[in-house]
Amino acid sequence: MIWTNGNQVDLLESGAAYFPAILAAIGAAKQEVHLQAYIFADDETGRAVSGALIAAARRGVVVRVLVDGFGSRDLNPALVAEMEAAGVEWMVFRAEQFQLSLRRHRLRRMHRKIAVVDGELAFIGGINIIDDMDTPNQIPPRFDFAVQVQGRVVEQITRDVRRLWAFIGWTHGRVVRRRRTQWAAQPVKVGNDKVAYLVRDNLRHRRDIEDAYLSAIASATRQVVIANAYFLPGRRFRHALMTAAQRNVQVVLLLQGRVEYGLLHYATRAWYGELLAAGVEICEYHHGFLHAKVAVIDGHWATVGSSNIDPFSLLLAREANVLVESTRFADELYVALQAAMLRGGRWIKVEGWRKRAWYQRILPNAAMLLVRGLMGLVGYGQKW
């Protein structure tokens, strides 16, 4: 992990802040735009983004879009064709071919949400290219975060997105030629935030994001606040949280209270008793659709990105997070999480959890057994 000084990181809460910022950046692009997304939807938001990408390509900007073959499997081919006709370069990561396959490679998705513009401005977070108000069976909008990053770390992010584009191009049998760019070779200091850019892949960076979480939790002295949409931690992660709570660190988890994916929802609850007994505080978000993947530790360390704390994100998917050392940024994120808990949080109390009826205990335990069985089928059962 490489920390970089001289950055400015700005928090973007949900699509209301994220999409105007990214559309403005694409609209001002002069040389190069890279966009990587798990979901790219053909809705009002998707068409606004595609329109900005088309306009950029038509004025001579190199525009490259990489989407996941599972997350974007329902995207209208006509929208893709329209972008490609305008000069937008488009690739799909692991296009879906066999819907019923449970092979490990099918679960290795490209779950990152990144945009980089002109090697000077980057966006990273959990927000897909989809209408925030489109939340079936949930109260809109999605509650999520991204960051806008300027400064020296953007050079590292730019190299990474170019590298992944070239690698996927190679797997598709395409020759990706390096385009000349005119921006300064030396990255410019624009702020005082210390930032590390982390990815999770199946090569050299298998556990970088998880290890960063574990290191920060282990060094916490006062408070750990984690908001995560799909929370199904492995043994190491659960142990780290419980150990922190037992040394009098306040550990707070903000988790999804509404049922989106039944199996993951109930499997998550299988660990509530163990965590609560160790002193971990759990707040379920019921106001709407929680999609955040963020954390704040001790008022100075924060992370925002695409990685959930579940076996799919931490063991299988390609993810990207930023770590930020900044009291200013950590305070802003903490205030946003506190507001969410006040707006739509329901606290799980240890006594009430212990007194659940027997039939309320069966579903979480059964769901956990099923998840472990599925992980075993793809070769990861012993690691979780």
Please name which of 334, 304, 33, 32 lies closest in space to residue 195, comparing C-alpha atoms.
304
383: annotated active-site residue: no
205: annotated active-site residue: no
For residue 52, give Cα distances in angstroms to 82, 86, 288: 12, 11, 29
Q: Between helices 358-377 and 262-269, what is the axis angle to 10°?
A: 110
d(CA 200, CA 24): 29
Q: Which of 34, 194, 265, 291 is catalytic?
A: 291
Q: Which of 113, 132, 193, 310 is catalytic?
A: 113
Q: Which of 30, 298, 300, 331 is catalytic?
A: 298
239: annotated active-site residue: no
d(CA 129, CA 83): 15
Q: Which of 118, 132, 144, 201 is catalytic?
A: 118
The DSSP secondary structure of 282-324, one letter per residue, reads EEEE-SSEE--EEEEETTTEEEEES--BSHIIIIISBEEEEEE
Cis peptide before 187 (omega within 30 of 0): no
291: annotated active-site residue: yes
105: annotated active-site residue: no
111: annotated active-site residue: yes
Q: Which of 111, 132, 265, 310 is catalytic?
A: 111
How do 89-93 and 62-68 pair as beta strands? parallel
Based on DSSP, count helices (H) and strands (E) in the chain, helices before strands.
13, 17
* Residue positions annotated with a catalytic role: 111, 113, 118, 291, 293, 298
